[in-house]
Amino acid sequence: MNTFYLHSALSFIAAYLITHRDPPPLPYNAFTAAFVFLSIFWMLWLTTYFYNRVYFRKMPKVIAFGAFFIKELIVANLKIAFDIVTPHFYMRPTVIAFPLAAKTDLEITLLSCIISLTPGTLSIDVSEDKEVLYIHALYVKGNDIEHLKHKIKDGFERPLLELTS
Amino acid sequence: MSLFQITLTIAMAVLSLCLLLTAIRFAIGPTLPDRITAFDLIVANVIGIIAIYTEYSGNEDFLDVAIILSVFGFLGSITFAYYIMRINH
Amino acid sequence: MLQDYELQVIKEVVSCVLILGGVTFMFIATIGLLRFPDFYTRMSAITKGSSLGVGLILIGLGIYFNQPDIMLKVLAIIAFTFITAPVAAHVIARTAVRNRSPFWSKTNLKEFKPYLDKEHLEKVKNHDMYRAEAEAQVEQKPNGGGDT
């Protein structure tokens, strides 16, 4: 994690210095700045192979998780939009009790934020012993609660625990 | 009037309509949490309106208003929620 | 010169498409706020719709201006929105449960019963005036046939 912050700061400063040079070597716009930032970040990531193997292996997983999250966000919105604009309600709201494998506060916060932003689910409350997360779900196919729990556990909780551990 | 400006005008009109509809829910909302939800959506709508107005006028300083609103609107709804939780316990 | 002109047109078209997409999502979220039957479904409709709509509009703005500092501000606003929207939704939903905001008549509450029993949310008598209104609405709903 510290390596990530350090690399972000280094590549930001380098990109700033390159794009703000007095006779600018590159055209001053956002795409070149982002390109310079990403290429410097990529080169720094390649060097971590020699001194920080864990970070080297985690970075592709972070990118894959981010892409999966954005895909789920757009799919969730289209699903709810379809339900809103058609006159019939297809939803079957259910409150499910989701057993948490995440223990620390940071993991629980991240998990409930991600759950609130993805398919038709809204986290309501955590029980006092931090064992159970109550989720309000809109779409439960055929009242199959276990299927939804498995989906959340395999899709969001397991990758998140792998990343934060 | 170019195509771009027509698009911006349409977007502004639709967002204003959104504000009006949200105000209806704010007025009739049966419970108090419904009103907080409407307030949350009003803040998001105003951020969108400020963004479109920035693009319309070409003056990029208005974007700072959107930054401040995105932080303090959240604080507003949180404060409302805690206040309601307190007065009922 | 020609190249500059074409770049301007491309930026405007991409920005237009993104802004119209964002505005559509915001409008759908607003209609959902008016149409959905109970508080929790409304909440889950607008949390996603408004955050995605604001994100798309702001990315359209950043692409139109195409300057690094404006892009940085836009990314800051998007990050704030995506951090604060679910937190606010969580706090408001918890307040609604504590305030005994009624669920839709079709909601499956089987797994939520232990929580409600533990917090004495069903038994405590409440003298709040909003509670009376909400109960009257719940009683009216089966008679009206619901929204199916």
On whether both C123 and C74 belong to a single domain, the answer is no
On whether both C119 and C48 belong to a single domain, the answer is no
Which chain B positions have a beta carbon within 8 Å of C31's beta carbon?
21
pLDDT of residue C128: 44
Q: If you average pLDDT over residues C129-137, what whole number do you get? A: 54
Computed over every residue of chain B, the mean pLDDT equals: 87
Domain carrying residue A26: 2-51
Test mutation, C24, C25, C27, C33, chain B, max B CBs within 10 A: C33
pLDDT of residue A114: 85
Which chain A positions have a beta carbon within 8 Å of C85's beta carbon?
116-117
On whether both C70 and C16 belong to a single domain, the answer is yes
On whether both A92 and A160 belong to a single domain, the answer is yes
pLDDT of residue A73: 84
CB contact under 8 A, A93 and C71: no
On whether both A93 and A47 belong to a single domain, the answer is no
- Of C83, C99, C115, which residue is a domain's last? C99
Taking the CA atoms of residue C33, residue C35, residue C37 and residue C39 in that order, the dihedral angle to the nearest 10 degrees is 10
Mind telling me how many Å the CA of B44 is from chain C's nearest CA? 6
Position with higher pLDDT, C120 vs A149? A149
Highest mean pLDDT among A61-65, A123-127, C35-39, C96-100: A61-65
pLDDT of residue C145: 42
Q: Percent of chain C scored above 70 by pLDDT?
A: 69
SS3 C126: coil
> Is residue A40 included in any domain, yes or no?
yes
Computed over every residue of chain A, the mean pLDDT equals: 79
Segment 119-138 of chain C within 8 Å of chain A by CB: none
| Residue A22 clears pLDDT 70, i.e. is over it | no
Cβ atoms of residues C52 and C25 within 8 Å: yes
Between strands A132-137 and A121-126, the pairing is antiparallel
pLDDT of residue C130: 46
pLDDT of residue A101: 80
Domain carrying residue C68: 1-99
Model ipTM over 0.90: no
Give the pLDDT band (50/70/90) at residue B34.
confident
> Is residue A124 included in any domain, yes or no?
yes
DSSP-derived letter for residue C37 is: S
On whether both C21 and C83 belong to a single domain, the answer is yes
On whether both C72 and C134 belong to a single domain, the answer is no
On whether both C15 and C66 belong to a single domain, the answer is yes
CB contact under 8 A, C86 and A19: no
* pLDDT per position as a tens digit, A112-157: 888 888 767 888 888 777 778 888 888 777 667 788 788 888 878 8
Sheet of strand A94-99: strand arrangement: A94-99, A132-137, A121-126
Q: Percent of chain A scored above 70 by pLDDT?
A: 92
What sign for the dihedral angle of Cα B82, A123, B74, A81? negative
SS3 A120: coil
On whether both C83 and C28 belong to a single domain, the answer is yes
| Residue B13 clears pLDDT 90, i.e. is over it | yes
Q: Count of A–C CB contacts within 8 Å?
A: 126
On whether both A30 and A93 belong to a single domain, the answer is no
- Cα A6 to chain centroid distance, Å, stands at 21
On whether both C95 and C110 belong to a single domain, the answer is no
Highest mean pLDDT among A123-127, A132-136, B23-27, C63-67: B23-27
| Domains of chain B, residue spans | 3-87
| Residue C140 clears pLDDT 50, i.e. is over it | yes
Which chain A positions have a beta carbon within 8 Å of C43's beta carbon?
122
Distance CA C62, CA A25 (A): 22
pLDDT of residue A27: 66
Q: Which of C73, C95, C137 sits opposite B84 (nearest CB)?
A: C95
CB contact under 8 A, A145 and C111: yes
Q: Which of C64, C95, C128 sits opposite B33 (nearest CB)?
A: C95
Test mutation, C90, C97, C100, C116, chain A, max A CBs within 10 A: C90
CB contact under 8 A, C23 and B48: yes
Test mutation, A8, A35, A77, chain C, max C CBs within 10 A: A77
* pLDDT per position as a tens digit, C93-109: 888 888 777 777 777 67
Q: If you average pLDDT over residues A90-108, what whole number do you get? A: 80
The neighbours of chain A, by the rule of 3 or more Cβ pairs under 8 Å, are C
Mind telling me how many Å the CA of C26 is from chain A's nearest CA? 10
On whether both A142 and A93 belong to a single domain, the answer is yes
* Tally of domains in chain C: 2
Q: Which residues contact C39 (CB under 8 A, 6 or more apart)?
A: B31, B33, B34, B37, C96, C101, C102
The amino acid sitting at C114 is P
